[in-house]
Amino acid sequence: MKKLSVDKTSSKGIAIGKAYKYEKISFVPDMYVYNDKDEEIKIYKNATEQVSDELTKLAQTNDIFAGHLELVNDVALLDEVTNKIVNDKKNVQIAFRDTIDEFVAMFEAMDNEYMKARADDIKDIYQRVMAKIKNVELKNLASIHTPTIVIAKDLAPSDTATMNLDYILGFATQGGGVTSHVCIMARNLGLPALVGADNLLEEVNDNDIIIIDATNGDIYINPDEAKIKEFENKKSDFEKREKLLKENAHLEAITKDNKRVLVYSNVGNIEDIKNAVKCYIDGIGLFRSEFLYMENSHFPTEEEQFEVYKEAVQICTGEVIIRTLDIGGDKELSYYEFDKEENPFLGFRAIRISLHLKDMFKEQLRALLRASAFGYVSIMYPMIISLEELLEANSILDECKKELDSQNIAYNKDIKVGMMIETPASVMEAEAFAKYVDFFSIGTNDLTQYMLAVDRGNDKIADMYDSFNPAVLHAIQKVIDAGHKENIVVGMCGEFASDERACKMLLGMGLDEFSVAFTQVAAIKSIIRESDFEKCKEISEKIRFVHSKKEVNEILNMF
């Protein structure tokens, strides 16, 4: 028996069955010199039109393909392919391959996991368009008719969309990240899935018996009978727990001693909101508005943004906290040129860009204000480090309100405004900030990185990136205390809020709102319902005095 492990799970569960190695066609461009550049461009346009038609049909039944549709119709993609054909004298196949390689490299270089995952979507577009150019039929998983665990280098959304779900038990891939579309689809379908398993294709053969433990991140290859029996029992226990969580998901997160806690969800688009609402969320704790900008070929207009924000609040009847543009660092725009920076994460990003591009910022704020007439919208600023920044942002918001008043355009006069806490500066000045906002949201992903001076994308020091570090916990406690001193709500929208082990501790520390991945909503609500707030508070008080991970672990074991 062999065992492979991955650092992060993508879709929890356990699968036991035979392996099926799914290998895609590797499209290599034909090497030829063209005679007519217009004919090459025509070939490309015809291919993308065919793919666009197919994706349009797929998008009607699965919103996840809407992003693919935008990619294949992206003007920037067409312009770059055309440029390579006309100016670099490359044939259509080479021009398209080289352009896709550039796009993939750009996205894979990003630290943000969600944006890095878009590289997989671009590779999928390459497969589909090249198949049309070469007049080749793509393989799919619809022909599987026996219980199977799919093993692949990677899987595209179009692969999972064609799976015969009556026979697919789960899947594992050698590449990919936990935020990729294929993992999102796996979670939606309830399929156990693991991604990023090194040497997977070398270690697994067709028809090998394998166990995917997607809860702990392990793959067992040709296990003995005892191991199979062990995991059959674990699978049964897991399915019973999931069934119970699902049955109770509609219940509110109220502790045994009647403390009401809000459980929100983090989203990046309308599709995410639809999925989150199905999980009985109390609201949206983080709507990442930057994806409106990143998936566009231009700065989205006020009207374009308004329509999206309006739809968001009409789908979710609870509070929808929309973060203003958080671009820069690992997130770039194809239509706006950023200066090269030695330390982009410490440079021109987030609120700094919005305050610099005031007209762009006002368009977003006006759209948000207008959407507030149709539902419970709250506005949140990212990356605030000084009172001056906060006051300037609020001043621009006031300008927008006056403009709308003069135009007799409706908006919620009492709209709530909050800010992210994600830097040591915002932690240290939290008491001052709390006087000027309605809520805080602690972004533990960046806060942990900045507090510990650890690059969360660096594998060599990945073990040092730990939100359970006493310094990070003390920072979180300081922010909660500062917020409560001014009677404002303190929430958390980083990955730490989804950590089941941290839940009771954060509850005891006084966190008012957990904004989590929608797949974790039921589990976090269940833990809160099982908790006694006063007891959690008593134990969590000890966090103020810890100075080592050993002490933190001792406290966690008290819950």
Same domain, 67 and 94: yes
Same domain, 214 and 81: no
Q: Residue range 245-268: average pLDDT?
A: 94
Helix-, strand-, coil-residue percentages of the chain, each rounded to 5: 50, 15, 35
- Residue 19 counted as domain residue: yes
Structure confidence at residue 185 (pLDDT): 67
Q: Grade residue 363 by pLDDT with cuts at 50, 70 and 90.
A: very high
128 annotated as belonging to a binding site for a ligand: no
Of residues 123 and 436, more confidence is placed in 436
Closest CA to 514 of 283, 318, 288, 308: 283
Same domain, 128 and 150: no
Summarised one tens digit per residue, pLDDT across range 451-506 is 999 876 666 776 788 899 999 999 999 999 999 999 999 999 988 998 899 999 99
In 3-state terms, what secondary structure has residue 302? helix
Which residues, other chains included, contact 213 with Cβ-Cβ below 8 Å and sequence gap of 6+?
A: 14, 219, 220, 231, 234
State the pairing for strand pair 209-213/218-221.
antiparallel
Closest CA to 219 of 195, 190, 241: 195
446 annotated as belonging to a binding site for a ligand: yes
Mean pLDDT of the chain: 89
Same domain, 355 and 449: yes
Which residues, other chains included, contact 7 with Cβ-Cβ below 8 Å and sequence gap of 6+?
A: 196, 217, 462
Summarised one tens digit per residue, pLDDT across range 279-317 is 999 999 999 998 888 777 788 999 999 999 999 999 998
Same domain, 355 and 262: yes
| Chain mean position to CA 232 | 31
pLDDT score of 163 more than 80:
no
Structure confidence at residue 334 (pLDDT): 67
456 annotated as belonging to a binding site for a ligand: yes
Residues in the chain: 559
Checking 330-335 for CB contacts under 8 A at 24+ apart, the result is 330/109, 330/110, 330/111, 330/112, 330/115, 331/110, 331/112, 331/115, 331/290, 331/294, 332/106, 332/110, 332/294, 333/293, 333/294, 334/76, 334/297, 335/76, 335/296, 335/297, 335/298, 335/299
DSSP-assigned letters across all residues of 341-365:
-S-GGGSS-THHHHHHSHHHHHHHH
Same domain, 411 and 314: yes
Count of CB atoms within 10 A of residue 392's CB?
16
- Residue 363 counted as domain residue: yes
Give the span between the Cα atoms of 528 and 503, in whole angstroms: 8
Quote the domain boundaries for residue 224.
Answer: 2-23+140-231
Which of 74, 108, 134 is the endpoint of a domain?
A: 134
Of residues 67 and 535, more confidence is placed in 535
- Residue 387 counted as domain residue: yes
Helix axes 113-134, 65-72, angle to 10 degrees: 60
Same domain, 117 and 144: no
Summarised one tens digit per residue, pLDDT across range 185-203 is 677 677 898 988 888 999 9
Q: Residue range 165-180: average pLDDT?
A: 79
Q: How far from 105 is each of 85, 101, 113, CA to CA, in Å?
A: 20, 6, 14
Instruction: Indicate which residue of 181, 183, 279, 400 is catalytic.
Output: 181
Count the domains in the chain: 3
- Residue 247 counted as domain residue: no
Same domain, 364 and 421: yes
Is residue 298 flagged as an active site residue? no
Share of the chain above pLDDT 90, in %: 63
Given a contact cutoff of 8 angstroms between Cβ atoms, the answer to whether 434 and 482 are in contact is yes
Same domain, 167 and 201: yes
Give the global pTM: 0.74
- Residue 243 counted as domain residue: no
pLDDT score of 340 more than 90:
no
Is residue 183 flagged as an active site residue? no
Alpha-carbon torsion (340, 269, 422, 401), positive or negative:
positive
188 annotated as belonging to a binding site for a ligand: no
Backbone angles phi, psi at 418, to 5 degrees: -135, -175
Give the span between the Cα atoms of 109 and 114, in whole angstroms: 12
Given a contact cutoff of 8 angstroms between Cβ atoms, the answer to whether 300 and 366 are in contact is no
Summarised one tens digit per residue, pLDDT across range 35-84 is 999 999 999 999 999 999 888 887 776 666 777 888 888 888 999 999 99
Same domain, 110 and 147: no
Same domain, 267 and 415: yes
Instruction: Indicate which residue of 279, 493, 503, 536 is catalytic.
Output: 493
End-to-end CA gap in the chain: 36
Rg (CA), the chain: 25
pLDDT score of 235 more than 90:
yes
- Residue 29 counted as domain residue: no
Which of 117, 134, 151 is the endpoint of a domain?
A: 134
Looking at residue 66, which CATH number applies to its domain? Answer: 1.10.274.10
- Residue 441 counted as domain residue: yes
Spatial strand order of the sheet with 209-213 comes to 2-5, 218-221, 209-213, 14-22, 148-152, 168-173, 193-194
Structure confidence at residue 454 (pLDDT): 84
Looking at residue 289, which CATH number applies to its domain? Answer: 3.20.20.60
Same domain, 167 and 264: no
Give the span between the Cα atoms of 430 and 372, in whole angstroms: 27
Which residues, other chains included, contact 142 with Cβ-Cβ below 8 Å and sequence gap of 6+?
A: 162, 163, 164
Structure confidence at residue 266 (pLDDT): 92
Looking at residue 9, which CATH number applies to its domain? Answer: 3.50.30.10
Tell me the two tokens of residue 63: 């919103």
Query: How would you write 470-538 as a 3-class SS string?
Result: HHHHHHHHHHHHHHHHCCCEEEECCHHHHCCCCHHHHHHHCCCEEEECHHHHHHHHHHHHCCCHHHHHH
pLDDT score of 330 more than 60:
no
Tell me the two tokens of residue 334: 């194809």
- Residue 239 counted as domain residue: no
pLDDT score of 179 more than 60:
no
